[in-house]
Structure 1
Amino acid sequence: MILNRIVFLIILSFPTFLFSQIKAKVIGIKDGDTIVVLLDGDQQKTLRLAEVDCPESGQPFGKNSKQFTSNEVFGKFITYFPTDIDRYGRTIAKIYYDNEKYLSEEIIKNGLGWWYFYFSKSESLGTMQKEAENKKLGLWIDAKPISPWEWRKISRER
């Protein structure tokens, strides 16, 4: 009986947004892993894609990554599942489109972003990244691509 109450209280304490499924229209692409959506009531919201980190805009393949994301979802209705809030206040979300394609997965499979293993437990995304590397897709054509987190670190040190 006490255990049931504890489990019930734990479930109630989780933010409801972690379990929400939200539909929205993509109205902007900030970069390969950040989009802007239009919600009901004409409210705009910036979403940071979960589990992937794309090259920065000044980094090799940054423009390619942004263009890929734009080609995939701009102007379309998507379904997203919020997973967290980042340090900039953006909602981190798993984004699905076109009959349940997972956007982060598509970016990684096409060699236009890194599996963000630090924030993801999905080993399948790591496998997809290795396949893109082996096929020399996208940014993996570069002999020594620099991950976005390393690029940001180097940029801060300058």
Structure 2
Amino acid sequence: MIAAAAICLIVAISDGDTVKARCGEPGASQQVSVRLAEIDAPESAQAYGKRSKAALSVLCFGVWATIKPLARDGYGRTVARLECRGKDASSEQVRQGMAWAFTRYLTDPEIKRLEEGARASRAGLWDDPEPLAPSDWRASQRLKPSGLR
């Protein structure tokens, strides 16, 4: 985990709310997995999952980004606010309708306001008449018999 704010190169986009970054001096750098704070993006196999990943890629892939770590999650990822091209990635994903405000972990009220705006304008996943939150989608996948996934 990154202990303090750092400027790192984004080397991969895992999905709409997770990136891999290379941090540190050349020859002594480490690769870290960073989970964007306060949002939950559709899973890759879920509706809008690929679009969400693509939107985050356009904003962050291959650029130097500021990572402001907040915590470590249960998967060992650094949970952080990520700034790419001068924009907060969490806010941008929600504003574009590519992620939900993750109310369970929400501390920034602006994220919820951005979600409400995206819903009102039917941006991204909000164009779907019945968008399914990633947490609900994950729960539905756990309930399916293993041969049906």
Is residue 24 from structure 1 mapped to residue 11 from structure 2 by the alignment? no
The aligned amino acid for 2:15 is D
What's the TM-score, normalizing by structure 1?
A: 0.86
Structure 1 unaligned blocks of 5 or more:
1-15
Question: Of the two, which has the highest radius of gyration?
Answer: 1
- 4+ runs deviating over 6 angstroms: none
Structure 2 unaligned blocks of 5 or more:
145-149
The aligned amino acid for 1:54 is A
What's the TM-score, normalizing by structure 2?
A: 0.91
1:121 aligned residue: 107
Decide which moves more: 37-46 or 69-78: 37-46
The aligned amino acid for 1:58 is A
The aligned amino acid for 1:49 is L
Q: Give the aligned length.
A: 140
Is residue 146 from structure 1 mapped to residue 132 from structure 2 by the alignment? yes
Is residue 33 from structure 1 mapped to residue 17 from structure 2 by the alignment? yes
Identity %: 33
3-state SS of the aligned residue for 1:131? helix
1:47 aligned residue: 34
The alignment yields a C-alpha RMSD, in angstroms, of 1.1
User: Residue 63 of structure 1: which of 46, 50, 54 is its match?
Assistant: 50
Distance in 1 of aligned mates of 2:60 and 2:137 = 26
